[in-house]
A and B are shown apart, each in its own frame.
Chain A
Amino acid sequence: DGGITQSPKYLFRKEGQNVTLSCEQNLNHDAMYWYRQDPGQGLRLIYYSQIVNDFQKGDIAEGYSVSREKKESFPLTVTSAQKNPTAFYLCASSETGGGKTQYFGPGTRLLVL
């Protein structure tokens, strides 16, 4: 089936530790996005990539890093510089950038021990 997969579903981070969230899509989409969602809130953009080997900061990029070495993959690293990482992380993709219909993965819930 075509779609977006995220792993793991739950992730625990210790203080001072970097963790990486996986996002893979087999929709042949050019654009990919990472959002963060806090309880009872909407989504906020962390990073986005409109094409392979290129990515841009979103509204809340501090403490996060990404790479886009392959079209189908857009991993997000939550670094130790992110002081409040507990949240629900959502990855999305679209055919092109520019607000075209986005398709979301099931999300990864990150918790700090």
Chain B
Amino acid sequence: DAKTTQPTSMDCAEGRAANLPCNHSTISGNEYVYWYRQIHSQGPQYIIHGLKNNETNEMASLIITEDRKSSTLILPHATLRDTAVYYCIVTSGGSQGNLIFGKGTKLSVKP
């Protein structure tokens, strides 16, 4: 699975959009981009995933560049409850099927 690079931390004002970047320059054609988040001392929560088209659901939007080497997770109206560590994961779903979680981005939403 391709490696991802994310900023260590980011701040966002409550009510504003939070844009979390992820670089995955070695992504291959059959690999998906997944986003999870982990609120302190809880299990990770699935947010969204995509292959090459932009995706949107009730939680967030995922924008993938045309060359697929980077993506951005957008939380349109961040709230204090969105404070968490956000993980960007690239996977083809190999034989193990596990997801490789790096250190992610610590998003702090401030009032």
Where the two chains meet, the residues of A that have a C-beta atom closer than 8 Å to any C-beta of B are: 4, 6, 31, 33, 35, 40-43, 45, 48, 50, 56, 58, 88, 90, 92, 94, 96-107, 109
Complex CA gap A14/B49 in Å reads 41
Complex CA gap A88/B42 in Å reads 9
Q: How far is the CB of A18 from chain B (nearest CB, A)?
A: 24
Q: How far is the CB of B30 from chain A (nearest CB, A)?
A: 11
Where the two chains meet, the residues of B that have a C-beta atom closer than 8 Å to any C-beta of A are: 32, 34, 41-46, 49, 87, 91-104
Query: CB within 8 A of B44: which of A43, A58, A109?
Result: A43
Chain A residues, Cβ within 8 Å of B100: 42
Q: How far is the CB of A19 from chain B (nearest CB, A)?
A: 19
Instruction: List 21 A-B residue pairs with CB atoms under 8 Å apart, sorted by A's residue number.
Output: A6-B43, A33-B98, A35-B101, A40-B103, A42-B87, A42-B101, A42-B103, A43-B101, A45-B98, A92-B43, A97-B96, A97-B97, A98-B93, A100-B93, A100-B97, A101-B34, A101-B46, A102-B46, A102-B99, A107-B43, A109-B41
Complex CA gap A101/B104 in Å reads 18
Complex CA gap A62/B30 in Å reads 32
What's the dominant secondary structure at chain B's contact region? loop
What's the dominant secondary structure at chain A's contact region? strand
When A40-B103, A43-B101, A48-B98 are in contact, do A99 and B91 touch as well, CB less than 8 Å?
A: yes
